[in-house]
Structure 1
Amino acid sequence: MRIPGLGCLKGCLFTLLILFVASWLIWELTPLQDWIGTGRGYWDQIGDWFGKVGGWIEDLGGSDEPSAPSGTN
């Protein structure tokens, strides 16, 4: 059975898989983790980076509460 569009989806997913495997191999087989100097494993470091980027994006949104004008008593 042929599903239209599956070729593109399969290619994209395979590309993501290759990129993850390649980045893990680079992390493990090169002195990259020593250069960064965190002492974390690959998945711990990736999770930390995603958390930092998520916090940064959240900070860009700002707060939904209006701030009080300064100088009022």
Structure 2
Amino acid sequence: MRIPGLGCLKGCLFTIVILFVAGWLIWELSPLQEWIGTGKGYWDQLTDWFSTVTGWIEKVGGSGSGTN
């Protein structure tokens, strides 16, 4: 059975998986961890960066709404 549009979706999902695996390999097999100096694992560092970025976005987005 052929589902229209599945080729593009499958390609996009596969690309995202490949990027995460490549990022993990670079993190583990290169001195990048030591250069940054956190000592955290790959997923711990990603979640830390994600929470930092979302906090920054909330701070920027919320700064203009409280002026009235």
Say whether the fold is shared (TM-score over 0.5). yes
Per-residue CA distance 1:10-69 (angstroms, 9 max, x = gap): 0000000000000000000000000000010000000000000000100111254345xx
Query: After TM superposition, where is structure 1 displaced by more than 3 Å over at least 4 residues in a row?
Result: 63-67
Structure 2: state its 5+ residue gaps: none
**1:40 partner SS:** coil
TM-score (normalizing by structure 1)? 0.86
Aligned to 1:43: 43
Distance 2:67 2:21 in 1: 46
Amino acid at match of 1:56: W
Could you say which residue in structure 2 is the equivalent of 1:65? Answer: 66
Q: Which residue of 1 aligns with 2:6?
A: 6
- SS of equivalent to 2:20: helix
What letter matches 1:3 in structure 2?
A: I
TM-score (ref. length: structure 2): 0.92
Separation (CA, whole Å) in 2 of partners of 1:66 and 1:60: 13
More helix by share: 2
User: SS where residue 2 of structure 1 aligns?
Assistant: coil
